[in-house]
Amino acid sequence: MNKKLLSLLVSLVVVVGGLYWVFGLPAVGNPEIPTSPEAIARGEYLYNAAGCNACHQTGDAEGPSGGYEIESPFGGHFVTPNITPDEETGIGGWTGRDFILAIKHGRSPDGGFYWPAFPYRSYMGMSDEEVLDIAAYMVTLSPIASESYQHELPAWQFSWMMSGWNIMADFMEGEPPAVADDPQLQRGAHLARHFSHCGECHTPRNALGISDLSNEFAGQEGVASAPLTPEGLADYSYDDFVYFLEDGFTMNFEQVGGEMLDVIEHTSQLSQEDREALAAFLMRDR
Ligand code: HEC
Ligand code: HEC
């Protein structure tokens, strides 16, 4: 074969391969959504642990029908969608694959990209089984017909840009500190990182909004500057901190404010054992 033609072919393969890498959907299979009462109960617990309602259920809504506005650090705001199983306006008919792609990969059923205002980069550490249990619970919720609003974002922002952003985040966010091989600490790490998503607000981000996991929980300027480290939590005893996660009372005997109150709403629904695991993980020596 002609050398020029060969190099052209090779370049073509590289470009198509690259596009596929950037825009292709991850292969996640299409597992069944479980229907047993046990799976639904596990899913309800995990759904609450992940604080899904903090963003998807607003005001006096009867379910997670969306409409909550989240300010974007790059201008404009996002509006959360309706995630009740309504066929027309919600996620009615979603399959196991759709839930895994959305929650763990930030991808919509048609291959589009979600904005990271949806904390999928934290949720990506859930197991597929955990996501499927959450799905099992979500499909039992009452459908609410409520059209999802459009985000209001600056004209230069397109969600397909998140294809590149996700790849940069994979390379730039770094590794979080290792956690000792202790069941309680491992459970606390899994909950804090991949369910309660404490780092979305308490871990520093770079100018692109990518989390610096090597500085996990060191505080995020302008969002939640409180570091969740033994030094940052020095005013709290372990027991006080476990109570804080239940009732939101700080060491100044004040109810914690702002979005942290929504967080307490979900940590208060955890089992005592899981709140203790969270506290043990965040207060561990490192
Ligand atoms: C911090 C706020 C926040 C939290 C917490 C959150 N979401 Fe979302 N979610 C969003 C935003 C914003 C979008 C829209 C993203 C977009 O349009 O790009 C979204 C989109 C979604 C979608 C896609 C819906 C569609 O119609 O395409 C699903 C499904 C979803 N969220 C489920 C969940 C579940 C399940 C949880 C808990 C495990 C959760 N969300 C927690 C903010 C949040
Ligand atoms: C949605 C953003 C967000 C998330 C997620 C979040 N926090 Fe916060 N957190 C805040 C904000 C904002 C404040 C400051 C609140 C205030 O002004 O009273 C705060 C304050 C705190 C404080 C300081 C309380 C004090 O003594 O004043 C602690 C401790 C804390 N958060 C722990 C956590 C833990 C643990 C998690 C995960 C389970 C978490 N946060 C997840 C936003 C968040």
The rounded Å distance from CA 226 to ligand 1 centre is 25
Q: Is the pLDDT of residue 174 over 70?
A: yes
Q: Is the pLDDT of residue 10 over 90?
A: no
Q: Please, what is the Cα angle at 245 between 243 and 246, to 5 degrees?
A: 65
- Integer angstrom CA distances of residue 86 from 50, 89, 145: 22, 6, 6
Question: Tokens 């027991």 sit at which residue?
Answer: 239
Q: Is the pLDDT of residue 232 over 90?
A: yes
The rounded Å distance from CA 179 to ligand 2 centre is 22
What are the tens digits of pLDDT across the range 257-285? 889 999 999 999 999 999 999 999 999 98
At residue 258, the pLDDT reads 86
What are the tens digits of pLDDT across the range 66-79? 999 999 989 999 99
At residue 266, the pLDDT reads 95
Q: Is the pLDDT of residue 81 over 70?
A: yes
At residue 1, the pLDDT reads 64
* Cβ < 6 A, ligand 1 pocket: 50-52, 54-56, 70, 78, 80-81, 83, 91, 102-103, 108, 114-115, 117-119, 123, 134, 159
Tell me which of 12 and 265 has the higher pLDDT. 265
Q: Is the pLDDT of residue 214 over 90?
A: yes
What are the tens digits of pLDDT across the range 91-108? 999 999 999 999 999 999
Residue owning the nearest CA to atom 40 of ligand 1:
52
pLDDT confidence band for 7 (50 / 70 / 90): confident
Are the C-beta atoms of 283 and 233 separated by less than 8 Å?
Answer: yes
The rounded Å distance from CA 11 to ligand 2 centre is 49
Dig out the tokens for 56 from the structure. 């998807």
At residue 125, the pLDDT reads 98
Q: Is the pLDDT of residue 21 over 80?
A: no
Q: What is the mean pLDDT of residues 105-127?
A: 97
At residue 24, the pLDDT reads 85
Q: What is the mean pLDDT of residues 112-134?
A: 98
Query: Which ligand 1 atom sits nearest the alpha carbon of residue 138?
Result: 35
The rounded Å distance from CA 36 to ligand 1 centre is 25
Backbone angles phi, psi at 31, to 5 degrees: -65, 150
Q: Please, what is the Cα angle at 277 between 183 and 100, to 5 degrees?
A: 80
Q: Is the pLDDT of residue 17 over 80?
A: no
Residue owning the nearest CA to atom 43 of ligand 1:
118
Percent of the chain at pLDDT exceeding 70:
100
Residue owning the nearest CA to atom 36 of ligand 2:
198
Query: Which ligand 2 atom sits nearest the alpha carbon of residue 191?
Result: 38
Contacts of 99 (CB under 8 A, 6+ apart): 33, 131, 132, 134, 135, 138
Are the C-beta atoms of 114 and 162 separated by less than 8 Å?
Answer: yes
**Residue 134 to residue 140: CA distance in whole angstroms:** 10
